[in-house]
Amino acid sequence: MKKMIAALCAACLLLVRPVSVQAAAPPDGIEARAALLMDAQTGQVLFDKNGSESLEPASITKILTAMLALEQLDPARPISASAGAVDIPSWATSAHLKAGEALTREQAVYALLLPSGNDAANVIAEAVSGSQQAFAQLMNERAAALGAQNTHFTNASGLPDEEHRTTALDMALITRGALQTPGFLAYFGAESYRMAGNGLSAEREFHNTHRMLRTDYPEYDRTVIGGKTGYTDSAGYTLVTAAQREGRTLICVVLNSDRSYQDTAALLDYGFQNFIPYTYQFETPSVRLPLMDGEREAGTALFAHQAAVPLFIREGTDAGQITVEYGLPQNPRQSLEGTVRLLLPAQEGEIPPSLTLPLQIQSIELFSPARPALKEEQSQKGTERHLPAWSLLMAAAAGGLAVRAVEVFRIRRRARRKLRRSPQGRMD
């Protein structure tokens, strides 16, 4: 069994070996522990450094909190700040809310995102779900629905907790979803906000902690349309930034970086200056994949995907070297959706830029008895390698398809060319 697994791993490595091309190299000197650059429209990953590593996010957590506030709260209904919600550590950033203070949804979201108010995060959590714990559960459910499969949040603010973790990829997916939420960008990109006084508090003015949105900081970038900062001792400096140039929007996430703004500026310049639009054309809008039972082919599954895929490739890239990777549904009890992933040619040692799209299952055909699997087949589209799953249980039900369980099976095919701290110096 160990030999079989080792052989499969070796085959996978051969299939995705980086290809040297005459194209722009990714930026050197990115100091972040993890960094990821994503095209907001397509979801294509343009740069990836440890993008799937589990790390603490600190206050960039509040992007998801703000998104849920806009989705769940009635803008006309007042929100009351409880004594427990406004009781936060003295070292944490605050909007200086007071127990019993009534806020509108607008005020609460600005107090959350601009000064990175941990008290505002707690107030929103209680207003949406009734308790911090229930809101954390909602956050995790919403993150998973956005494709963030490696995120587990325990609070609405991002204050330190060893169990409160995410990845750079997941934060990009969450931010992409937030940008599609009506009204979110007005908060995410605001430089300042003046909050009217009330019976308990005087008028307050909030300023965004993201320096690329602040005209009074040297890091200011007029193409940046939104962003969120984060910092704790355990997470280090974290930063999420959205920028728009010539109609394209990119999302940049850096985690645990002492040079978060320099890393972000370099990655945004790289993404905007070196990628051009390209349409990848599949020969057919569907693909039939083998279903393996050990070393025997037990049947095939027909999947459908879009025939023409808009993406971005680096100038100088040979589009004929784009690699296609298919994946069967990982949890068929919940979804029969697989994936098709396009991997662009990469520099030596670089994680390939990639775009992942849904793959909808259409039908399953079972062989009786199962026939021996072909290790390699030549087709007009290139070379296919059938990599067996370790087990397979499935059934077809009358009137529809029901797959009881299908372990992860992946097939890769080489397609032929057709084609820091916040400005206040506090943990936020």
* pLDDT at residue 426, as a whole number: 63
Give the residue-averaged pLDDT of 53-62. Answer: 98
At 324, which amino acid appears? V
Q: Which of 148, 415, 145 is nearest to 305 (CA)?
A: 415
What contacts 263, CB < 8 A, 6 or more positions away? 30, 31, 32, 35, 239, 254, 257
Give yes or no for a contact between 256 and 236, defined as CB atoms under 8 angstroms apart.
yes
Q: Among 323-332, 370-379, 419-428, which is the least confidently predicted range?
A: 370-379
Q: How confident is the model at residue 23 (pLDDT cuts 50, 70, 90)?
A: low
Interatomic CA distance for residues 178 and 143, integer angstroms: 10
CA angle 165, 94, 182 (to 5 degrees): 65
What distance in Å separates the CA atoms of residue 282 and residue 342, rounded to the nearest whole number? 11
Active site residue 129: no
User: Whole-angstrom Cα distance, residue 407 to residue 85?
Assistant: 43
Distance between CA atoms of 305 and 309, rounded to whole angstroms?
A: 9
Determine which one of 49, 94, 116, 129 is catalytic: 116
Please, which residues have CB within 8 angstroms of residue 242's CB and are 6 or more apart in sequence? 40, 175, 179, 188, 189, 224, 225, 226, 227, 249, 250, 251, 252
Residue 143 reports pLDDT greater than 70: yes
Q: From CA 47, how far away is CA 251, in angstroms rounded?
A: 11
CA 253, CA 234: separation in Å to the nearest integer?
Answer: 17
The CA–CA distances, whole Å, from 312 to 7, 36, 93, 200 equal: 33, 15, 39, 52
pLDDT on residue 291: 78
Residue 14: predicted pLDDT: 29
Phi, psi of 169 (to 5 degrees): -65, -45
pTM value?
Answer: 0.81
192 has a pLDDT exceeding 50: yes
Tokens of 30: 């990115």
pLDDT, averaged across the chain: 83
Q: Which of the residues 49, 62, 228, 354 is marked catalytic?
A: 62
The count of C-alpha atoms lying within 13 angstroms of the C-alpha of 305, restricted to the half-sphere facing its C-beta, is 26
d(CA 204, CA 122): 19
CA atoms of 264 and 281, how far apart (whole Å): 32
Pairwise pLDDT comparison (13 vs 199), residue with the higher score: 199
Q: Please state the rounded mean pLDDT for residues 114-128.
A: 98
Q: Which of 17-21, 145-149, 341-345 has the lowest mean pLDDT?
A: 17-21
* Neighbouring-strand partners of residue 309: 280
Question: Is there a contact between 56 and 165 (Cβ–Cβ < 8 Å)?
Answer: yes
Give the percent of the chain with pLDDT over 90. Answer: 61
Residue 250, H or E segment: strand 248-255
Average pLDDT over residues 283-308: 83
Q: Residue 390 pLDDT > 80, yes or no?
A: no
Q: Is the pLDDT of residue 24 over 60?
A: yes
116 among known catalytic residues: yes
With residues binned 3-state (H G I as helix, E B as strand, rest as coil), the percentages for the chain, rounded to 5, are 25, 35, 45
Integer angstrom CA distances of residue 142 from 12, 136, 165 = 32, 10, 15
* Residue-level pLDDT at 419: 38
pLDDT of residue 82: 97
pLDDT value for 319: 86
The more confidently predicted of residues 154 and 389 is 154
Query: Across the strands, what pairs with 146?
Result: none
- Residue-level pLDDT at 25: 73
* pLDDT of 376 above 80: no
CB 231 within 8 A of CB 238: yes
> What is the model's pLDDT at position 6?
39
Please say if the pLDDT value at position 359 is more than 90. Answer: no
- Burial level of 259, CB count in 10 A (0-12/13-18/19+)? middle
What average pLDDT does range 96-113 have in this prediction? 97
Our answer to whether residue 62 is catalytic in this structure is yes
Q: What is the pLDDT of residues 218-262, one digit of tens each?
A: 999 999 999 999 999 999 999 999 999 999 999 999 999 999 999
Looking at 49, 59, 129, 228, which residue is catalytic? Answer: 59
pLDDT at 384: 35
